[in-house]
Each structure stands twice: as structure tokens, then as C-alpha cells.
């Protein structure tokens, strides 16, 4: 999964792809480099980012989804949003997956909308509200807490008729460095083996901050962690650098 940020304020590539021409060029590059899913993000969710309404997200997306579908009909598009209204817009434009960082917590219509559209739904582990999503939480055992969350949420989704569910542990959202390294080590225990796992650790601070590096200077360390989660059964890597991610996938598949 290649990341396409349509935002001016994302932490590592803000402003690079927030016009149609540059976004299409980046999409083409990622697809050629081996991406199978393009994850479109109209709103940054980094700490202290600008908060957008659904209407502002939709305005920022504009024709981008339909343009990508027209230019690259073979591509799969996921839409990174926590608004049901944005999902409905994206569905009409041709998206293939919903990527909701809020696990349905920020919009009580999200699960119903996922059921109505019948799109695959990426369920992320996160704190209960937008205001607290980056607050560091204390967990007696991060893996147990995460599985309790996933169990509750997947049951809700299944009851509503959402059957295609992908789990995202939510690296970078309200978890300590220590908990996130434990998550890496225990990926194989997440989700009870029932649902595919998406791992999004690309350019996350729990990797680069302890090393005193920038988000752009930890590729080697990131790929080692990517390989580790693939070996434990992870099915999707959400990445900024598709070339390096693809190399790691190819190495794993040898």
C-alpha cells in the first residue's frame, strides 16, 4: 500500500502531492514501483495537525479518485478518512477500501456506511476520541488490550454485515516506544488469526526518535521491522517508499 497524502501538512511529505498533476505522477510512480493499493489521505493525523471537516476533506479530494481510476484502472484505492460522509463520496468516485484510523470512534455512522457500501474496512486500534488519539496510554499488556478492542469492534462490524475486515494495530497513535516494539514482536498474536493484518510503521517516530534520526533516514531499520512482521503473518505494508518496501516483500517471498 503506497501512501498518497493530499495534504499540505503531513509530517514527512506534506505539500508534495496536493495538486492533481503531482499526485497523478506520484501514483504512477508508486504503481510502477510495485504498489498494489494507493491510500489517499486528505487529512493529516499527525500530532497538532489542522483539523478538517468532512466537507473540507471532500473539497480537498476533488476529482482525484476518479482521475486515478481513469488513468490507472487496474489500481486499488483506499480512502484514509474517519468520516462516513467522505466514505460515501469516495464510494461514488470509485474507491475500493475504507481506511478508518478511528475504528468508528470519531463518527458513529461509519460502521453503517461501511455496511451499506460493502467495501472492505480497515479497522485501526486507537484511543477513543480525536482529541486523545495521540495521548500516551498505559496498558497492562498492549497485545491483550488490543485484542479486546479488536474482538469488540469486529463483532460490531460483523453484526452489521461488514465481512471484509483488515486489522491495523495503529503504530504511532497513543502508544509508547516500548509498547510499539512489543507490538512488533507479538504481531502474530493480534486478531486471533481471523483477519488480515495491515502494518503502518513507515516513518513513524518510535523508530527514528530513539535513534536521533529524521523520518527519512531510517529506511534500513524500517525494512528490518517490515521483514519481521511479514514473517509473523502480516499481509499489507503501508509505506511511503514503495521501492524499498517491495524489495522487503520480495526478500520475504523468496
| Number of CB atoms found within 10 A of residue 78's CB | 27
Residue-level pLDDT, tens digit, the chain, 254 residues: 999 998 874 444 444 445 788 889 999 999 999 999 999 999 988 887 889 999 999 999 999 999 999 999 999 999 999 999 999 999 999 999 999 999 999 999 999 999 999 999 999 999 999 999 999 988 999 999 999 999 999 999 999 999 999 999 999 999 999 999 999 999 999 998 899 999 999 999 999 999 999 999 999 999 999 999 999 999 999 999 999 999 999 999 99
pLDDT score, position 44: 87
60, 175, 203, 238: the catalytic one is 238
The three-state secondary structure class of 221 is: helix
pLDDT of 121: 98
pLDDT for the residue 47: 82
Q: Which among 60, 203, 204, 246 is annotated as catalytic? A: 204
Distance from C-alpha of 28 to C-alpha of 172, rounded to nearest angstrom: 28
Angle at 128 between CA 123 and CA 133, to 5 degrees: 85
Could you confirm whether 138 is annotated as catalytic? no
**Cβ atoms of 13 and 240 closer than 8 Å:** yes
**Residue whose C-alpha is closest to residue 217's, from 227, 209, 228, 229:** 209
What is the DSSP-derived secondary structure letter of residue 201?
-
Nearest to 2 by CA among 174, 200, 134: 200
- 238 is a catalytic site residue: yes
In this prediction, residue 11 carries a pLDDT of: 43
Q: Are 21 and 98 in contact (CB under 8 A)?
A: no
**What's the CA angle centered on 124, arms 66 and 195, to 5 degrees?**
95
Amino acid at each position: 500500500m503506497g501512501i498518497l497524502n493530499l495534504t499540505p501538512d503531513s509530517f514527512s511529505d506534506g505539500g508534495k502531492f496536493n495538486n492533481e498533476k503531482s499526485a497523478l505522477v506520484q501514483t504512477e510512480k508508486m504503481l510502477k514501483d510495485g504498489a498494489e493499493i494507493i491510500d489517499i489521505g486528505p487529512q493529516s493525523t499527525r500530532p497538532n495537525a489542522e483539523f478538517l471537516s468532512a466537507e473540507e476533506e471532500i473539497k480537498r479530494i476533488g476529482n482525484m479518485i476518479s482521475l486515478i481510476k481513469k488513468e490507472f484502472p487496474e489500481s486499488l484505492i483506499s480512502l484514509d478518512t474517519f468520516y462516513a460522509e467522505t466514505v460515501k463520496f469516495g464510494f461514488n468516485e470509485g474507491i475500493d477500501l475504507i481506511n478508518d484510523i478511528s475504528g468508528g470512534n470519531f463518527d458513529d455512522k461509519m460502521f453503517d456506511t461501511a455496511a451499506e457500501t460493502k467495501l472492505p474496512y480497515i479497522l485501526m486500534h486507537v484511543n477513543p476520541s480525536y482529541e486523545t488519539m495521540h495521548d500516551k496510554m498505559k496498558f497492562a499488556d498492549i497485545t491483550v488490550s488490543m485484542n479486546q478492542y479488536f474482538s469488540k469492534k469486529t463483532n460490531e462490524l460483523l453484526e452489521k454485515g461488514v465481512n471484509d475486515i483488515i486489522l491495523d494495530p495503529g503504530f504511532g497513535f497513543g502508544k509508547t516506544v516500548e509498547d510499539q516494539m512489543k507490538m512488533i514482536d507479538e504481531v502474530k498474536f493480534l486478531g486471533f488469526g481471523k483477519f488480515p493484518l495491515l502494518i503502518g510503521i513507515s516513518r513513524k517516530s518510535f523508530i527514528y526518535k530513539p535513534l536521533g534520526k529524521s523520518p527519512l533516514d531510517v529506511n534500513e531499520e524500517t525494512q528490518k521491522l517490515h521483514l519481521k512482521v511479514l514473517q509473523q503473518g502480516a499481509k499489507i505494508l503501508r509505506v511511503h517508499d514503495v521501492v524499498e518496501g517491495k524489495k522487503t516483500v520480495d526478500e520475504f517471498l523468496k
